[in-house]
């Protein structure tokens, strides 16, 4: 076992994350000097080229920020546009949106649990070689993922970059028979998801805890997905319209993604662990039972156990989808009429990996004047680096290969979506107004 | 069955993109493990840490070239690949990020970043084919899973893939969707857009917005009056051609025509 005083760990291309990132850790005199989660994903300038586009184009265009969570972008964009023009969309359309979102949660969580994260715990490079030993398990994961994709296809028209979403609702409401055809696969998926919770709960989790402030949307009486009010576990509650004053981002030299902090506070964490801490009591009885049997505490502060929380959310999203389909009545019409109007609108929804904020400023013809998008991975980046710093400090006796491998695992705990993170706010507008 | 070492090697590479097209490979839930028995997945960072040194039999390339470093990287990948296949609109036409090609990129950079000097980027988002020779391209934003499987099967069987160069209209006819343009219900790019998606948008009562980019010989001049008749103004016509395949020459020309003397 090596125990050197000066060492540099580099992972030039992080595997099994969405997008392109690297990790640099410098250890000097036996202490961790510097940790950088470097995001080198090339910038694509969404905020810049959205200016001048029509409000109705934002759901389709912002979906292209991320192929893993396009529904999250579409939903936050729609909500923000509806806020800007002063309409509310709920009822049967709102339920159909929640159903589409459940599809994305199922698909994305199954992808992360089985193909990206579990191989770390079982000592495989990836799911393909894991399948050589555990084919039935990988097949179960793929079956779950497929069910999520089928749901997105039935409601959204296709799984990657759905085409049926528009500001105000949908282009077309699916026929009840198109959705009820999914009940059998969803019931199979529910069994698979419950088995998933039991499976991942048995993994060997390193002893480690963080103390990040946890932020998630909360909506009294339900597990918030497609809307809610931002809350933290330390008592901060704010309307989404306070976004620009409270969620601050700054650029760091090593990254094409911004780091977010809360004004007057510090780093914070968003995502499944935060949702579970703030809304766990509103999970379905079955999901709560699965969590209890997995030994999950009410607030889970071991980031390695996030895989268990994701599995519990998988149970919930499937149950919720079944309930929504069983009660489904097609909205007529499937869209609320929109008259373009000048205004500023805010949207926030729970992407699979955390809260996704959008803000748009429209002119009176509905043309976008400015945009701010705050994706979950930008918000989590400072917390991930803090975890790395503290985790590495307690594992300096590991050799380079093992230490590098566990550091990658620390990053994967957060299911970072680097494609998402590489899109930032318009600093020029609000810089002078910040408190 | 061949031993792993004898199987053809498949590598997947990412440039500026959303990850959605390589996700289409993982979305082949029923076929993925069978495929993994037939090819050796030699490089695919989204799926595995393991990587095998080239050369590779087939490289699938997602994304567009937007930085000097990426321009060098795609040249190395080309040298290391027997067949290079682009996947998706970013790789085949520069993607949505090619909207920078019509603007001042230094202005873009300072709108988005407080410290633009940290950011190294090219003035244009380049399709892969503008930097290196490409053997085949799968169109779409995102690509179609079925077309991807057909391409990989064709590669294993040593046959040509079925990549249609006909417009979306044919797929509407096959589905029995009545024409949105003829009935005046919505502006639709179907007549000039390459098929492959299954005409899903007209089936959902919305016009095609061109995810698969232009067909080989698109008559955009004839389509534009029909787009106007279906309700688009000049700016609307310009914008409908300027989305995910904005820099594909036929769509770029159509949009430029609408701008008149502005640029």
Query: Which member of B47, B70, B111 has the closest CB to residue A48?
Result: B111
Closest partner residue to A131 (CB to CB) among B36, B44, B239 is: B36
Q: Quick: pLDDT tens for A107-151.
A: 999 999 999 999 999 999 999 999 999 999 999 999 999 999 999
| A138 chain-B contacts, CB cut-off 8 A | 33
CB contact under 8 A, B121 and A42: yes
Interchain CB contact of B46 with A (< 8 Å): yes
With a CB-CB cutoff of 8 Å, which residues 136-175 of chain B face chain A? 141-142
At A333-358, the pLDDT tens digits run 999 999 999 999 999 999 999 999 99
pLDDT at A235: 96
Chain B residues inside the 8 Å CB shell of A431: 114
Q: In the predicted model, what is the mean pLDDT of residues B246-259? A: 91
Please, are residues A226 and A169 in contact by the beta-carbon 8 Å criterion? no
How remote is the C-alpha of B76 from its chain's centroid? 21
Closest-CA distance of chain B to residue A218, Å: 29
Buried b (16+ CB within 10 A) or exposed e, A38-76: bbbbbbbbbbbbbbebbbebbbbbbbbbbbbbbbbbbbb
Tokens linked to B171? 């797929």
Q: Which residues of chain B from 81 to 140 reach within 8 Å of chain A, CB to CB?
A: 95-97, 99-100, 103, 105, 107-115, 118-119, 121, 125
Whether residue B1 is predicted with pLDDT greater than 90 in this model: the reply is: no
Do residues A238 and A253 touch, judged by C-beta distance below 8 A? no
DSSP A203: S
Average pLDDT value for chain A: 90
Query: Alpha-carbon distance A140 to A130, whole Å?
Result: 13
Instruction: Identify which of A139, A253, A431 has the shortest CB distance to residue B118.
Output: A253
The 3 state secondary structure assigned to chain B is: CCCHHHCCEEEEEECECCCHHHHHHHCCCCCHHHHHHHCEEEECCCCECCCCCCCEEEEEEECEECCHHHHHHHHHHHHCEEEEEEECHHHHHCCHHHHHHHCCHHHHHHHHCCCHHHCCCCCCCECHHHCCCCCEEECCCCCCHHHHHHHHHHHHHCCCCCCCCCECHHHHHHHCCCCCCCCCCCCCCHHHEECCCCCHHHHCCCCCCCCCCECCCCCHHHHHHHHHHCCCCHHHHHHHHCCCCCCCHHHHHHHHHHHCCCC
Is A424 in Cβ contact with B27 (below 8 Å)? no
DSSP state of A174: P
- Retrieve residue A109's tokens: 């969580």
Domains recognised in chain B with CATH numbers: 4-157 (3.40.50.700), 169-259 (no CATH)
- The confidence score (pLDDT) of residue A403 equals 82
Give the span between the Cα atoms of B157 and A393, in whole angstroms.
Answer: 52
From the list A43, A47, A161, the residue facing B119 with the nearest CB is A43
**Cα A298 to Cα B248: distance, rounded to the nearest angstrom:** 53
The dihedral through the CA atoms of B167, B171, B174, B175 has a sign that is negative
Partner-chain residue, chosen from B41, B47, B112, that has the shortest CB–CB distance to A45: B112
Which among B148, B125, B119 is positioned nearest to B63, based on CA atoms?
A: B125
Burial class (CB in 10 A: 0-12, 13-18, 19+), A124: buried
Q: In this complex, which of B32, B96, B142 lies closest to A142 when CB atoms are compared?
A: B32
Region of poorest pLDDT, from A3-7, A350-354, A390-394, B141-145: A3-7
3-state secondary structure of A184: helix
Question: Following CA atoms B138, B142, B148, B150 in sequence, which dihedral angle do they give, to the nearest 10 degrees?
Answer: -80
Q: Which of residues 184-243 of B touch A (CB under 8 A)?
A: 197, 200-201, 203-206, 209, 211, 236, 239, 243
Nearest Cβ partner for B19 among A18, A127, A423: A18
Domains within chain A, CATH numbers bracketed = 7-39 (no CATH), 46-433 (1.10.645.10)
Q: What is the mean pLDDT of residues A372-401?
A: 88
| DSSP string over A315-374 | HHHHHHHHHHHHT----SSSB-------EEEEEEEEETTEEEEEEEEE-TTSBEEEEEEE
Mapped onto helix, strand or coil, the DSSP state of residue A6 is coil
* pLDDT bracket for residue A18 (50, 70, 90): low
* Residue A427: φ, ψ to 5°: -70, -25
Residue A195 has pLDDT above 60, yes or no: yes
- Helix, coil or strand: residue A170: strand
Query: How distant is the Cα of A21 from the closest Cα of chain B, in angstroms?
Result: 11
Contacts of A160 in chain B (CB under 8 A): 20, 23-24, 27, 142
Q: pLDDT > 90: what percent of chain A? A: 71
Can you spell out the DSSP letters for A393-405?
A: HT-TTS-HHHHHH
Residue B106: Cβ within 10 Å count? 11
Angle between helices A285-293 and A183-201 (to 10 degrees): 20
Query: pLDDT, tens digit, for every residue of A77-95?
Result: 999 999 999 999 999 999 9
DSSP A389-432: HHHHHT-TTS-HHHHHHHHHHHHHTT--BHHHHS----HHHHGG
| B239 to A54: CB separation less than 8 angstroms, yes or no | yes
Residue B263: predicted pLDDT:
40
Using CA coordinates, name the residue in chain B closest to A18: B46
d(CA B220, nearest CA chain A) in Å: 21
Distance CA B23, CA A144 (A): 15
Mutate to test the interface with B, among A36, A46, A48, A429 (most CBs of B within 10 A): A48
Q: Distance between CA atoms of A196 and A314, rounded to whole angstroms?
A: 9
Name the minimum distance, in Å, from the CA of B236 to any CA of chain A.
9
Q: What pLDDT shows up at residue A249?
A: 83
Phi–psi pair at B80, nearest 5 degrees? -100, 5
> Residues A129, B41: contact at Cβ < 8 Å?
no
B72 touches chain A (CB under 8 A): no
Reply yes or no on whether the pLDDT at A9 is more than 80: no
Q: Model pTM?
A: 0.94
Is the minimum CB–CB distance between B14 and chain A shorter than 8 Å?
yes
Chain B residues in contact with A163 by the CB 8 A cut-off are 200-201, 204, 206
Candidates A56, A67, A130, A374, partner chain B, best to mutate (most B CBs within 10 A): A67
Supply the ipTM of this predicted assembly. Answer: 0.94
Look up tokens 């929109």; give the residue: A338
What residues in B contact A69, CB-CB < 8 Å?
A: none
Q: What angle do CA A332, A337, A338 make, to 5 degrees?
A: 155
Question: Measured between beta carbons, which residues in chain A are less than 8 angstroms from residue B32?
Answer: 128, 142
Cα A280 to Cα A266: distance, rounded to the nearest angstrom? 24
CA A275 to chain centre: 11
Q: For residue range B94-151, what is the model confidence (pLDDT) as tens digits?
A: 999 999 888 776 776 666 665 665 566 788 899 999 999 999 999 999 999 999 999 9
CA dist A27 to A239, A403, A408, Å?
A: 42, 12, 17
Please give, rounded to a whole number of angstroms, the shortest distance from the CA of A6 to a CA of chain B: 26
> Of B21, B45, B142, which is closest to A13 when you measure between CB atoms?
B45
Angle of CA points A14, A403, A197, to nearest 5°: 70
> What does the pLDDT look like over A265-320, one tens digit per residue?
989 999 999 999 999 999 999 999 999 999 999 999 999 999 999 999 999 999 99
Q: Above 90 in pLDDT, residue A369?
A: yes
Grade residue A423 by pLDDT with cuts at 50, 70 and 90.
very low
Identify the burial level of B76 via C-beta atoms within 10 angstroms of its C-beta, where 0-12 means exposed, 13-18 middle and 19 or more buried.
exposed
First to last CA, chain A: 50
User: What does the pLDDT average to over B204-220?
Assistant: 96
> What is the residue-wise DSSP string for A33-88?
EEEEEEE------HHHHHTTSBGGGHHHHHHTT-SSSHHHHHHHHHHHHHHHHT--
* pLDDT at residue A55, rounded to an integer: 97
The pLDDT confidence band at residue B194, using thresholds 50, 70 and 90, is: very high
Which residues touch A177 (CB under 8 Å, ≥6 apart)? none
Task: Choose between A403 and B214: higher pLDDT.
Answer: B214
Contacts of B260 (CB under 8 A, 6+ apart): none
- In degrees and rounded to multiples of 5, residue A172 shows phi and psi of -145, 135
* A91-110 vs A135-156: helix crossing angle, rounded to 10: 160
Q: Under a CB-based contact definition with an 8 Å cutoff, are residues A59 and A78 in contact? A: yes
Which residue in chain A has the smallest CA separation from B111? Answer: A426
């Amino acid at each position: 076992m090596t125990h050197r005083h000066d060492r540099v760990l580099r992972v030039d291309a992080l595997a099994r994350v969405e997008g392109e990132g690297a990790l640099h850790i410098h250890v000097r005199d036996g202490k961790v000097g510097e940790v950088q989660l470097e995001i080198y994903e090339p910038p694509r300038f969404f905020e810049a080229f959205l200016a001048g586009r029509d409000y109705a184009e934002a759901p389709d265009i912002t979906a292209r920020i991320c192929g893993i969570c396009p529904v999250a972008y579409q939903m936050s964009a729609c909500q923000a546009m509806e806020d800007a023009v002063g309409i509310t969309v709920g009822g049967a359309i709102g339920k159909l949106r929640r159903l589409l979102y459940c599809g994305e949660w199922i698909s994305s969580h199954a992808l992360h649990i089985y193909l990206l994260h579990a191989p770390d715990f079982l000592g495989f490079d990836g799911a393909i070689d894991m399948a050589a030993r555990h084919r039935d398990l990988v097949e179960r994961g793929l079956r779950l993922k497929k069910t999520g994709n089928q749901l997105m296809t039935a409601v959204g028209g296709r799984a990657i970059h759905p085409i049926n979403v528009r500001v105000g609702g949908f282009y077309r409401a699916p026929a009840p028979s198109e959705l009820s055809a999914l009940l059998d696969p969803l019931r199979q998926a529910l069994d698979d998801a419950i088995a998933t919770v039991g499976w991942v709960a048995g993994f060997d989790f390193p002893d480690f805890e963080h103390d990040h402030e946890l932020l998630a949307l909360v909506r009294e009486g339900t597990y918030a997905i497609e809307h809610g009010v931002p809350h933290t576990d330390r008592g901060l509650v704010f309307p989404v319209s306070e976004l620009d004053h409270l969620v601050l981002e700054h650029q760091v030299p090593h990254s094409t993604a911004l780091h977010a902090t809360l004004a007057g506070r510090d780093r914070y964490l968003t995502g499944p662990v935060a949702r579970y801490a703030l809304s766990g009591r509103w999970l379905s009885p079955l999901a709560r039972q699965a969590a209890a049997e997995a030994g999950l505490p009410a607030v889970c502060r071991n980031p390695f156990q996030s895989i268990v929380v994701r599995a519990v959310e998988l149970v919930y999203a499937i149950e919720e989808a079944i309930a929504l389909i069983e009660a489904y009545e097609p909205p007529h019409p499937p869209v609320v009429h929109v008259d373009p109007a000048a205004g500023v609108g805010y949207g926030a929804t729970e992407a699979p990996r955390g809260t996704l904020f959008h803000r748009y400023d429209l002119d009176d013809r509905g043309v976008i004047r400015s945009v701010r998008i705050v994706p979950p991975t930008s918000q989590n980046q400072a917390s991930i680096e803090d975890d790395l710093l503290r985790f590495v400090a307690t594992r300096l006796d590991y050799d380079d290969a093992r230490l590098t491998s566990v550091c990658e695992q620390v990053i994967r705990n957060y299911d970072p979506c680097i494609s998402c993170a590489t899109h930032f706010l318009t600093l020029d507008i609000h810089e002078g107004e910040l408190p | 069955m061949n031993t792993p070492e004898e199987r053809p090697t498949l590598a997947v590479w990412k440039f500026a993109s959303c990850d959605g097209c390589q996700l289409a490979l993982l979305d082949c839930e029923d076929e993925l493990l069978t495929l993994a028995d037939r090819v050796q997945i030699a490089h695919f960072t989204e799926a595995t840490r393991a990587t095998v040194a080239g050369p590779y039999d087939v490289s699938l390339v997602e994304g567009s070239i937007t930085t000097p470093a990426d321009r060098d990287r795609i040249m190395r990948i080309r040298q290391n690949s027997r067949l290079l296949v682009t996947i998706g609109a970013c790789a085949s036409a520069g993607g949505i990020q090619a909207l920078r090609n019509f603007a001042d990129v230094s202005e873009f950079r300072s709108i988005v970043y407080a410290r633009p000097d940290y950011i190294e980027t090219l003035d244009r988002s380049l399709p892969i084919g503008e930097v290196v020779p490409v053997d085949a391209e799968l169109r779409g934003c995102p690509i179609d899973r079925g077309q991807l499987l057909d391409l990989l099967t064709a590669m294993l069987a040593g046959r040509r893939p079925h990549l249609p160069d006909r417009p979306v209209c044919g797929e509407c006819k096959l589905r029995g969707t009545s024409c949105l343009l003829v009935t005046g219900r919505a502006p639709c790019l179907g007549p000039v857009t390459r098929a492959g998606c299954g005409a899903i948008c007209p089936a959902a009562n919305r016009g095609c917005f061109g995810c698969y980019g232009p067909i080989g010989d698109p008559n955009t001049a004839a389509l534009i009056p029909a787009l106007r008749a279906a309700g688009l103004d000049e700016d609307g016509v310009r914008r409908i051609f300027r989305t995910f395949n904005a820099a594909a020459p036929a769509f770029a020309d159509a949009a430029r025509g609408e701008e008149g003397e502005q640029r």
